[in-house]
Each structure stands twice: as C-alpha cells, then as structure tokens.
Amino acid sequence: MPSTTSSPGSEAPAAAPPTPRTSTTPGIPVQDSPMVDRSDLDAGDGPSSHRGGEQARRAELCRRIEHRFADDTLLELALRHRSWCSEHGGVESNERLEFLGDSVLGLVVTEHLFAGSPTSSEGVLARRRSELVSANALAGVARSIGLGDVLRLGKGEEATGGRTKTSILADAMEGVIGAVYLDGGLQAARSVVLGLLDERIDGVVSGDVTSDHKSRLQEMAARRFGELPRYEISEDGPEHEKVFRAVVRLAGDRWGAGEGRTKKEAEQAAARETTRLLSQRHDEPAARADGHDADRGEGPPDA
C-alpha cells in the first residue's frame, strides 16, 4: 500500500484509497492484500542483482509457456507459496489461483479430449483426463519449464527441498494457469495448457506412456543442465514426400537426431535418441513405464 510522508510543520495530504487490481476476465476482480506495501513484495528480500536475476528467470518462464503477462502481479502472485507468505505478514498466497487454475485446466483438457476422441466412451475420456491433470503430470510439466526455480518459498520449505516437491510444483502449475486465465482469458489459458501438454496428450491418447520422448527429455535436461533442449529442423524432398530431420542441441553439444514425415515425428525421434544417449552415459534405462528416469549425473555424450 503506497505511503505518504510530510515535512515538519506541514499537513500531510489525505492518502487516496487503494485502487483494486482487476483482471481481464469480467466478474473476477483480483485485489492486492492490504497487509503489506506492494513495493516491499516486488522488491524481494535480496540485493538488486538478485532481484534482476529473479526478473530474468520470470521472463524466461513466460517465454517457455509462450504467454506475456499484461499484469505482471498475477504471475508474482502465482509464484507465492503459503510458506513464504506466512513469513511476510500473511499476504495472499497462490492458493486461490491454484483453485481457479485447477478448474480451467480441467475444462481445457476435457474439451480437447472430447473434441479429439469422438468415439471414446465417458470412462475412457475420464481416465485420460485424470492422467493428464494428475499431480505427477503437472509436476513433470513444471520441471520441464523450470517453474521450481522461480517459486517464492519460506525458509523451512526451501531447506527441505520444496522446489522439487511434486505437490508444490503441481499446485504452482495450476496457479500459473489460473494467472494466465485472469490475464488473458480462456483462449490464452487454452493456448498455454495445450502447448505444454501437447506431447503428453498424444502419448495418453495413443496409450503409449513412453511415447512422449520430448517431455521426458525436457525433464531430464532441466534437472541435469538447467536448460531446455533446442531442435534444429531441416527438410528434404518434394512437397508431397517431405522428410523432416531434427537434431537436438543441448548444453552446447549436438545430441540425438531423428527423421519423420512431420516436424513433430522428427523431434520425437531425435528426443528418443537423445534420452537413449543420456541413459547410456549414466547407465540408466532409456524409458520406464512411470515416465521417470534415475538422475545419476551429467555430461555430454562422447564426441
């Protein structure tokens, strides 16, 4: 809350009432907590260099989810865990946004499955939706975009590895979805959700839990190298018989390559080869039924 000061002997002007912060979604106002000065919240606890790094990480998060916030305070709110809020005067946490994001996520996924699987029964659709919106699935998405790195956690939660906890990551992911919905409406939220879940949806619909090699590679790369893989695409052949070739670039090195009739197929093939190379390097299985790998180290493949 803005504060006013006056010099000795002068009368301080009356403080103007705070202006509520509203979302772009009609009927859903979002107000700042009156309990603390917003400038204190936005400044954070560290020096200016730390704050600059935090802003850069948030900008990178926005790039990865492909949404630019018109109201940056919505993203800031989505990243506040209740443990941090309890240490800062009990300000609002991301739990309300999490509640909203859970419903938005469910709607978008349900709508997409319903439209894309016209012959599937209600039971099949329900099982697919449950898998896509599960805590494990959301935490996997969160890890792939580096969400844990930008969360605001209390000291105790930080000390116990809160940035990697499945429950915290899943809840924060829902909070971000809720923030996107308030910032840009349903279409913006739909674009973000389907963009993040695209490969996972393909795997769930096909019934192949290990087919989403791109998402698995993203998670492995984020943990081991702190960055996401890039795909270099080339194409060859006539228009009606094009062959796409993808090469994975990660941590400054060339990793796996793959070909396909579409860019998506080529990227999946390249991601599959890269996860195999990573697994061989660290003596791990290339794929497991639960979609996770045992992280045992890091390093580029032998050139």
Report how many helices (DSSP H) and strands (DSSP E) the chain contains, helices first: 11, 3
Is 102 known to be catalytic?
Answer: yes
Domain assignment present for residue 32? The answer is no
Q: In which band, very low, low, confident or very high, does the pLDDT at 8 lie, cut at 50, 70 and 90?
A: very low
Q: What is the DSSP letter of 295?
A: -
Same domain (yes/no): 179, 64: yes
Helix (H, G, I), strand (E, B) or coil at 17: coil
Is 174 known to be catalytic?
Answer: yes
Please check the confidence at residue 43 and state whether its pLDDT lies above 50: no
Task: Quote the pLDDT of residue 238.
Answer: 77
Domain assignment present for residue 14? The answer is no
- CA proximity to 153, closest of 242, 210, 84: 84
Same domain (yes/no): 182, 138: yes
The dihedrals phi and psi of 236, each to the nearest 5 degrees, come to: -150, 155
Same domain (yes/no): 100, 182: yes
Same domain (yes/no): 44, 189: yes
Domain assignment present for residue 101? The answer is yes
Boundary of a domain, candidates 176, 206, 236: 206
- Are 42 and 77 within 8 A, CB to CB? no
Same domain (yes/no): 168, 146: yes
Range of the domain at 260: 213-281
CATH of the domain at 62: 1.10.1520.10
Same domain (yes/no): 226, 275: yes
Q: In which band, very low, low, confident or very high, does the pLDDT at 135 lie, cut at 50, 70 and 90?
A: confident
Identify the residue with better confidence: 235 or 297.
235
Boundary of a domain, candidates 206, 222, 255: 206
Domain assignment present for residue 286? The answer is no
Q: How many CB atoms lie within 10 A of CB 101?
A: 27
Query: What's the CA gap between 250 and 231, in Å, rounded?
Result: 9
Mean pLDDT of the chain: 78
Same domain (yes/no): 178, 141: yes
Q: In which band, very low, low, confident or very high, does the pLDDT at 191 lie, cut at 50, 70 and 90?
A: very high
Query: Which position among 32, 76, 102, 284 bears the catalytic label?
Result: 102
Same domain (yes/no): 188, 253: no
List all residues 6 or more positions away from 286 whose beta carbon is below 8 Å from its beta carbon: 272, 275, 276, 279, 280
Domain assignment present for residue 229? The answer is yes
Same domain (yes/no): 247, 201: no
Domain assignment present for residue 71? The answer is yes
Same domain (yes/no): 178, 152: yes
- Are 144 and 218 within 8 A, CB to CB? yes
Q: How many CB atoms lie within 10 A of CB 42?
A: 12
Same domain (yes/no): 198, 232: no
Name residue 17's amino acid.
P
Task: Quote the pLDDT of residue 220.
Answer: 85
CATH of the domain at 217: 3.30.160.20
Query: Which position among 174, 199, 219, 273 bears the catalytic label?
Result: 174
Same domain (yes/no): 198, 49: yes
Counting residues of the chain whose pLDDT is more than 70, the rounded percentage is 73
Task: Quote the pLDDT of residue 44.
Answer: 43
Looking at the structure of the chain, the number of domains it has is 2
Domain assignment present for residue 252? The answer is yes
* CA contacts within 13 A on the Cβ side of 288: 9
Q: How many CB atoms lie within 10 A of CB 196?
A: 24
The dihedrals phi and psi of 246, each to the nearest 5 degrees, come to: -120, 140
Report pLDDT digits (tens) over 265-285: 888 888 888 988 888 776 544
Boundary of a domain, candidates 206, 232, 267: 206
Domain assignment present for residue 298? The answer is no
Q: What are the angstrom distances between the C-alpha of 186 and each of 94, 193, 201, 208?
A: 19, 10, 19, 29
Task: Quote the pLDDT of residue 278.
Answer: 87
Report pLDDT digits (tens) over 160-190: 888 988 889 999 999 999 999 999 999 999 9
